[in-house]
Chains A and B, each alone.
Chain A
Amino acid sequence: GENVEQHPSTLSVQEGDSAVIKCTYSDSASNYFPWYKQELGKRPQLIIDIRSNVGEKKDQRIAVTLNKTAKHFSLHITETQPEDSAVYFCAAKRRGAGNMLTFGGGTRLMVKP
């Protein structure tokens, strides 16, 4: 089955710096890669996603890149703000019908003012 590895597990940056979180996946048939943000005590929420026919996608300060050959994808957050502090999860859709995802272990991002 699919395996998703996420690094780093914790990341501390100064406000205004950039943050990068990386994930690798094992199943070359995976074609959908979402990123979820979970603030402390809150539910995970989708912040951006990318499909396998696209190499990069941006939404304001966040961007995701996908390298299908190497089977890895990354989340980039620019000009970080304290409200970006949260746990971020990457995921990959499993092969086959349905919408089952395999999640990475999560990255705790701390943005220091």
Chain B
Amino acid sequence: DVKVTQSSRYLVKRTGEKVFLECVQDMDHENMFWYRQDPGLGLRLIYFSYDVKMKEKGDIPEGYSVSREKKERFSLILESASTNQTSMYLCASSPYGGGVEQFFGPGTRLTVL
């Protein structure tokens, strides 16, 4: 059973703070993803990683960075949080290749005050 876990379910931060969101998967998946979910906008890809230390920008990378130092862990970093980054953040992982299922974490609801 694939398990994707995220460090927090709920997080409240202040404008300007540096925020770290952590994601861990236990299935040795090569691909990992960070999405942002907002009502009516679906899931929008922030960053994608296909291997350790490798990353690609998604559709909305501005204001975010990522780190993948180990295969099982993918971190999303908000360098200076802003109120427009208040959202639900979902991590996902999948095996190598295209056209394969993505397994999602439970999500982190981030509120920036």
Residues on A lying within 8 angstroms of B by beta carbon are 1, 4, 6, 9, 31-32, 34, 42-46, 49, 51, 89, 91, 93, 97-106
Given contacts A44-B104, A49-B101, A93-B99, 10 further A-B contacts (CB under 8 A): A34-B101, A43-B105, A49-B99, A51-B99, A100-B33, A100-B48, A103-B43, A104-B42, A105-B40, A105-B41
CB-nearest residue of chain A to B48? A100
Contact A98 B50 (CB under 8 A): yes
Find chain A residues with CB under 8 A from B31 CB: 98-99
Q: In the assembled complex, how far is the CB of residue B50 from the closest CB belonging to chain A, in whole angstroms?
A: 6
In Å, the complex CA distance between A1 and B97 comes to: 19
Contact A100 B45 (CB under 8 A): yes
Contact B58 A100 (CB under 8 A): yes
CB-nearest residue of chain B to A106? B42
Q: When each residue 25-36 of chain B gets 1 if its CB lies under 8 Å from chain A and 0 otherwise, what string results?
A: 000000101010
Find chain B residues with CB under 8 A from A6 CB: 42
| A105 touching B99 in the complex, CB below 8 Å, given contacts A98-B48, A99-B94 | no
Find chain A residues with CB under 8 A from B105 CB: 43
CB-nearest residue of chain B to A101? B102
In Å, the complex CA distance between A91 and B43 comes to: 9
Can you list 24 residue pairs at the A/B interface with Cβ under 8 Å? A6-B42, A9-B40, A43-B104, A44-B90, A44-B104, A45-B104, A49-B101, A51-B99, A93-B98, A93-B99, A98-B31, A98-B48, A98-B50, A98-B56, A98-B98, A99-B31, A99-B94, A99-B97, A99-B99, A99-B100, A100-B48, A101-B102, A103-B42, A105-B42
* B1 close to A (CB within 8 Å): no
